[in-house]
Amino acid sequence: MAVRRFLFLALFALLASARSWTARRNRRSSPEDALAVLVAIRQAPNDRPTAIPVQRGRKTLVDDPDIPGADAALAGNAVLDQEDPNAPADSAGVDFVVGNRLVTVEVQGGLPADAALAAAVDLATQQADCLTSGGPCEQVRAPEALAAGPDAGATPAT
């Protein structure tokens, strides 16, 4: 069942045209261990490997999101383009703990920072609901910013 829960999230990535997102779950030996890893992530948000061969970007922590069902959570915005020091934040991620599970959700590239963060929080909330439901997960619902076209959330030129 765990594989099925992860696959429904992984397959959703095919819907995102100009951006990508990932969700990873990691089962720790205890809730305390999962929380300790979250503390380590908070202390060094840019010092961790990625699940895909794409750099995560420079990450800046923002206010902790409220993820119902999570024991603790943190979030950050990121700049995917590490070559341009003036590039705006266009990505976001949420790390959270549910019991002994540590979950990371990332929305990478193609959105303004606030839209990327809103999409990451939405996906994290859906994943937390899945983990706490005790049964099969519902189909993932695409956050508005990911379901819209590549210019979703962009400020129109005037």
User: What pLDDT, on the 0 to 100 scale, is given for residue 98?
Assistant: 93
User: What pLDDT, on the 0 to 100 scale, is given for residue 3?
Assistant: 36
Q: What is the pTM of this model?
A: 0.76
User: What pLDDT, on the 0 to 100 scale, is given for residue 106?
Assistant: 86
Average pLDDT for 109-119: 90
113-132 and 2-12 helices, crossing angle to 10°: 160
For residue 72, the 8-state DSSP code is E
Average pLDDT for 5-17: 35
User: What pLDDT, on the 0 to 100 scale, is given for residue 158?
Assistant: 34
User: What pLDDT, on the 0 to 100 scale, is given for residue 153?
Assistant: 47
User: What pLDDT, on the 0 to 100 scale, is given for residue 155?
Assistant: 42
Q: Which residues pair with 102 in a beta bridge?
A: 26, 97
Q: What is the largest CA-CA distance in the chain?
A: 54
pLDDT at 104 over 70: yes
Using alpha carbons, select from 31, 30, 118 the residue that is nearest to residue 77. 118
> pLDDT tens for residues 48-95?
665 555 555 678 999 999 999 999 999 999 888 878 889 899 889 999
User: What pLDDT, on the 0 to 100 scale, is given for residue 5?
Assistant: 39
Q: Retrieve residue 82's tokens.
A: 């590490």
> pLDDT tens for residues 118-151?
999 999 999 999 889 887 777 778 888 887 655 5
> pLDDT tens for residues 15-40?
333 355 556 666 677 889 889 989 99
User: What pLDDT, on the 0 to 100 scale, is given for residue 2?
Assistant: 39
Specify the 3-state DSSP secondary structure of 29. coil
User: What pLDDT, on the 0 to 100 scale, is given for residue 117?
Assistant: 94
